[in-house]
């Protein structure tokens, strides 16, 4: 019991980005899902007698999948499965008791999903901007997203990690669950406040389309060729082959030709397809059904914007205020800062920065004009974004008013998720994975279909 409690406690002290990618991500996107906090509460009610009773009945009814790997004849594999079934002595699990995971089909819109770190000593914040794109069951969507992820991740890392030095944990990748939509996830962990980190991601998004337009076709063809070559590599171990086979079994698609489908799609995909996917799903200026969730994990000591702050002041003001408070260790009045921004439009960027430094002085004010001073470099960027905002308010594609479940909207029109369970209850679910082959019970020989 002590070890289990410690495991639950350790989850609270994981790195912020791991929490967003792991539990927080599943809590928002997957049904059913039981959060660790609830398990921790229930653990106190568990008794030795209850555990013993559970042990005696846990396999009374069961549903299991089994992959037999090795130098076996078909009959031997079937016999192994029968032996497992006989040892468990289980009745078939009723269909209503078997609840495979399903992905929440989040309706178009821009959402904010906020958390506070439970680690009082954690200094880092983390954000993950998740863009919902094509379907995970579509080979062309999967390969196009893989190429888009490959092209964007190096540029993303170079801009936000190498040039802006926002943190050591910076990355972009494509992800999916067993069914539902693919996602492009852009993640940053660092000491800057989450609002500022997301503003920098927005800045990258704003300029990346031109990168795709100008991307060298020779480099693109070489990228495709390298991915195809890797996909066609011969597996070097039984474990690797078993893992490749187990994935479609576990997901319920039984699509053992998935890799071949993706290779065929890769040979057809063009750079224009990648640009089209960017415009259809990720570019807020062109995406018709723009769907995005900004997950944030705030350090316990960070200045956490209130609901009133978020509904009153633009994100650019909140981001700048967070940068100022972090660097100057002075409280920032948002009304005064907003007034400063409104009166600074006639000034040059350098003059506005100098005026800001005069109003919010630091111990060494000469750092203000020093481009190598990372803190003031961030303040300068935050000031530029506040004075020259390029983000337009998000136009909601649905008529849903989430205020009735306690959510509120930012100045930009983004909905802030305040109760994730209530929010999920308003959303539809993606269907279960459908087998792409006809599953035929076979206990005497293997033909074209395998029952695992």
pLDDT tens for each residue of the chain, 452 residues long? 788 888 888 888 899 999 999 999 999 999 999 999 898 888 888 888 988 988 888 888 888 888 998 888 888 888 888 888 888 888 888 888 888 889 999 999 999 999 999 999 999 999 999 999 999 989 999 999 999 999 999 999 999 999 999 998 999 999 987 678 999 999 999 999 999 999 999 999 999 999 999 999 999 999 999 999 988 888 889 899 999 999 888 888 888 888 899 999 999 999 999 999 999 999 999 999 999 999 999 999 898 999 999 999 999 999 999 999 988 888 899 999 999 999 887 888 888 888 888 888 764 444 544 544 556 789 999 999 999 876 554 555 566 899 999 999 999 999 999 999 999 999 999 988 888 887 777 654 433 334 44
**How many other C-beta atoms lie within 10 A of the C-beta of residue 389?**
16
Let me know: does 408 contact 310? Beta carbons within 8 Å: yes
Residue (of 21, 392, 26, 306) closest to 188 by Cα position: 21
What 3-state class would DSSP assign to 417? strand
Which residues, at least 6 apart from 117, have a Cβ–Cβ distance to it below 8 Å?
Answer: 16, 297, 298, 299, 300
**How many other C-beta atoms lie within 10 A of the C-beta of residue 290?**
21
Element (H, E) at 335: helix 334-343
Number of separate helices (H) and strands (E) present in the chain: 18, 12
Is 412 exposed, middle or buried, given 0-12, 13-18 or 19+ CB atoms closer than 10 A? middle
In order of 135, 153, 155, 192, 386, the CA distances from 205 in angstroms are 22, 12, 11, 19, 17
The whole-number pLDDT of residue 321 equals 95
The whole-number pLDDT of residue 371 equals 47
Measured CA to CA, the distance from residue 307 to residue 296 in angstroms comes to 15
Tell me the pTM: 0.90
Helix extents (H) in 134-216: 139-157, 194-213
What 3-state class would DSSP assign to 290? coil
The whole-number pLDDT of residue 365 equals 46
What 3-state class would DSSP assign to 135? strand
The whole-number pLDDT of residue 374 equals 55
The whole-number pLDDT of residue 4 equals 86
Angle between helices 139-157 and 217-231 (to 10 degrees): 120
Which residues, at least 6 apart from 376, have a Cβ–Cβ distance to it below 8 Å?
Answer: 327, 353, 357, 362, 367, 368, 370
- How many residues can be counted in the chain? 452
The whole-number pLDDT of residue 372 equals 46
Let me know: does 295 contact 128? Beta carbons within 8 Å: yes
Instruction: State both tokens at 302.
Output: 């960070």
């Amino acid at each position: 019991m002590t070890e289990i409690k410690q495991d639950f406690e350790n989850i609270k002290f994981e790195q912020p980005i791991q929490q967003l990618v792991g539990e927080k991500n599943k809590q928002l996107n997957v049904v059913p899902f039981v959060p660790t906090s609830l398990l921790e509460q229930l653990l106190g009610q568990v008794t030795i007698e209850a555990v013993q009773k559970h042990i005696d009945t846990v396999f009374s009814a069961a549903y299991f999948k089994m992959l037999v790997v090795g130098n076996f004849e078909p009959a031997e594999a079937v016999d192994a499965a029968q032996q497992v079934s006989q040892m468990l002595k289980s009745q078939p699990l009723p269909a209503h008791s078997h609840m495979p995971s399903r992905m929440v089909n989040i309706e178009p819109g821009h959402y904010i999903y906020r958390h506070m770190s439970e680690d009082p000593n954690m200094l880092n914040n983390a954000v993950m901007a998740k863009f919902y794109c094509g379907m995970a069951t579509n080979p062309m969507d999967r390969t196009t997203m893989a190429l888009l992820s490959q092209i964007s991740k190096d540029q993303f890392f170079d801009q936000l990690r190498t040039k802006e030095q926002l943190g050591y944990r910076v990355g972009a990748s494509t992800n999916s669950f067993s069914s539902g939509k693919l996602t492009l996830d852009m993640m940053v962990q660092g000491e800057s406040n989450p609002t500022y980190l997301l503003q920098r991601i927005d800045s990258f998004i704003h300029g990346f389309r031109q990168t795709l337009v100008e991307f060298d076709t020779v480099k693109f063809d070489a990228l495709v060729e390298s991915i195809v070559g890797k996909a066609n590599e011969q597996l070097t171990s039984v474990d690797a082959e078993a893992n490749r086979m187990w994935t479609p079994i576990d997901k319920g698609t039984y699509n053992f030709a998935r890799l071949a489908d993706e290779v065929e799609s890769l040979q057809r995909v063009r750079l224009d397809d990648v640009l089209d996917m960017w415009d259809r799903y990720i570019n807020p200026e062109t995406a018709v059904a723009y769907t995005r969730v900004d997950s944030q994990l705030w350090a316990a000591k960070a200045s956490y914007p209130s609901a009133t702050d978020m509904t009153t002041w633009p994100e650019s003001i909140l981001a700048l205020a967070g940068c100022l408070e972090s660097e100057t260790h002075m409280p920032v009045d948002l009304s005064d800062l907003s007034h400063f921004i409104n009166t600074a439009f006639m000034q040059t960027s350098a003059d506005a920065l100098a005026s800001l430094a005069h109003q919010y002085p630091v111990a060494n004010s000469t750092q203000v004009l020093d481009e190598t001073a990372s803190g003031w470099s961030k303040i300068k960027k935050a000031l530029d974004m506040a004075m020259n905002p390029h983000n337009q308010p998000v136009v909601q594609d649905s008529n849903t008013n989430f205020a009735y479940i306690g959510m509120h909207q930012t100045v930009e029109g983004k909905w802030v998720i305040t109760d994730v369970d209530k929010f999920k209850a308003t959303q539809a679910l993606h269907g279960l994975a459908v087998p792409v082959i006809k599953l035929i019970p076979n206990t005497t020989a293997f033909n074209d279909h395998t029952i695992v």
